[in-house]
Structure 1
Amino acid sequence: MGNMSRSSAPSQRQLRVGELIRRTLSEVLARGDVHDPELNRMSITVGEVRTSPDLRVATAFVLPLGGQGAEDALAALRRNRGELRRMVSKKLTLKFSPELRFAIDETFDRMDETRRLLAQDAVQRDLAGHGDDGD
């Protein structure tokens, strides 16, 4: 009966829980609450958290400062998944705590890539010599 296309968009509840998890993870990482010196040395941005429709899985899209050491950051987060999950579940008022998954936030890369391509495009136009000089 329901319109199928709607089900693909996240519900308000998914968005709310995702944002709460994002904020909690950001705070925990910023404060260095996890007992892992290697993780605490990293500056990791949590760009977005997406939850599954049943809220049982939360995927955090993260990026280390400057985009360097992404694999190390993922490894450190995954190593501390249990502790991070406990800290998140304390903040959430859910019956169960979602399983945390971590992925690299590709949107930053895409933005840089787009900028690079635009710059390249402008350069190509200049080299071709028919840039608009008449202003």
Structure 2
Amino acid sequence: MSTKKIVCVWIGKNASEKEFYQEYLQFDYENDEVSNFGKEAALDYYDEDFIESWWFKKLEVAKLNEYNEELLDSEFFFDDLLRELEHKNLEDNNFITFLFGEISNNSANEFLFDYNGLSSPSNTLEFVFKKEYEI
């Protein structure tokens, strides 16, 4: 049986690496709230076990290519993502976030199959890519 999977990708800018990982991506479990990333991306909830985020001093396609091998299922979407990013102005961005979902016996983040991007513009976050694939 094949597993239907999806990846959604956002790019953005955050003040510092520490703030990005320790504040922007962290869930507020005490108040039962999604992370600031989740709020900005218009995600009511997501399974944080399926997220990968990288912070750089400056986001560059060449730098991303160096991390290709470290990313889950990259062989199914990474080249397409890089082609998409080549058409974007990355100069003011310093992070990239990948959120994975799947429909299987152990489904996770299946709402991503219906996700259409940000409902309103954001100063720090841009939705740039969505790809479905099967394994």
Which TM-score applies when normalising by structure 2? 0.28
Which TM-score applies when normalising by structure 1? 0.28
Give the greater-gyration-radius structure (CA).
1
